[in-house]
A and B are shown apart, each in its own frame.
Chain A
């Protein structure tokens, strides 16, 4: 409509714009301020980091630590085994995140539903979330990993990998369910009112109006949980799953050199840091989008 033409006018005016002397002075002053700030940042970083490094390097045990934790030639030797272990962590994360997504969504929908027929399931879902959010993951892994095989039920798996994954899924579903539920509750009631007044049923309103908005809002916290999940898959090593942590443990117990642990840590960082940066970007984007909506 008519709101296109003013934009075109202002862009053609922007092209012919020559900054005034005062504006040129201001730009020069801003540059000087920025240079001063950058100098201060460099000096203060050099002092703080320099002090930290000096403190570590001059400590009495540094020489021993250097050879037992940072022996790069040994680190290179074990890189293959540890990386193979990390592949187990990645596979576990992938499988678990799909299962968590399904289970957590079920829990969140049950907890937010108002249907009378679902009342017992709503109570069960609430109890489930309360319990699994409150018990340390390590305990759940131990209980599932050693408790389920102890039952001796025929046909039930004894695979530590499957049992470990199950434990992780049980705990994380409770966390993720709460994130999804908070997203569902964050959609304004007027959206529901609009959908219902168009004749949509409660499930249709959830499916077409509430959930799409809710999920979009909780993507950043969910990515955070994905990073945490990847790290926490390292805990299943306690059951004897040969993941990156377990592989590093085996390698270092053979030689009493702890470099494999550092190697494993660095490998984890190679995946988690890009993922975290990506999460930050998604979050920044969603905040700026919300601000734009607020201004409109």
Chain B
């Protein structure tokens, strides 16, 4: 069963066509990894799925119902989605615990005690128990991003969207963030993630999609798309990533 279906999605910013008749299926409990150069449309696709950007044409379905219908309750759709941003976007005026429990309490109607307990359990699981009462600016970038991931899964989303979650991090801190995502993968979380980390993509991806000029040029298992790319653009992209030392 597909959690997410994207059909013929088109999105442009002015004269710039960012997504060009793009289609994508994400079955339940699978991870789809989007790779491609900066500006290839990865982030825009994720923002469109989360209804943060309006689309020009096509449609998006979540659990079989269209979320791009103009009459859809946007807040209800977002309640089923989790999103993690490249720049963390933690709320600086709230402690780590308050960041994580805000949505469970205010949106999902959990009691304070229950939300706190669940948040502390998640923090403990990812080695952040001692940071619960700290403010985000006291945390390292890697810790902040781990908190942001915990915040997005605290509401038990149907689908988790991760937008280049390690791009703003020091190479040393990348792995502590990626290991959380690996854990989520083994929890069978359904995910769509954009990344430049090819080794990581190979480990977690059920399907890798190479985006080029707003289209998915090549798709398939990592061994095929990353291991044995068919298109010259894919080969070219992977060679440049390799030269940058990220393979």
Which residues of chain A have a CB within 8 Å of any CB of chain B? 1, 3, 190-191, 193-201, 204, 208-209, 212-213, 216, 292-293, 296
Contact = CB atoms under 8 A, between A and B. Distances in A.
Given A1-B130, A208-B106, A201 B85 contact: no
Given A190-B87, A208-B102, A293-B137, A197 B81 contact: yes
B124 interface: no
Given A191-B89, A208-B102, A296-B137, A198 B152 contact: yes
A199 B151 CA distance: 12
A1 B127 CA distance: 9
A200 B85 contact: no
Interface residues of B, number: 27
A209 B91 contact: yes
A66 to B, nearest CB: 55
A190 B89 contact: yes
Which of B83, B87, B91, B108 lies at the interface centre, i.e. has the most chain A CB atoms within 10 A of its CB? B91
A296 B102 CA distance: 24
A198 B82 CA distance: 7
Interface string B20-40: 000000000000000000000
Given A1-B130, A193-B85, A198 B92 contact: no
Interface in B173-222: none
A194 B89 contact: yes
Contact of B75 (A199, A209, A213, A292): A199
Contacts of B151: 198
B92 to A, nearest CB: 7
B7 interface: no
B93 interface: yes
B52 A200 contact: no
A197 B78 contact: yes
Interface string B156-186: 0000000000000000000000000000000
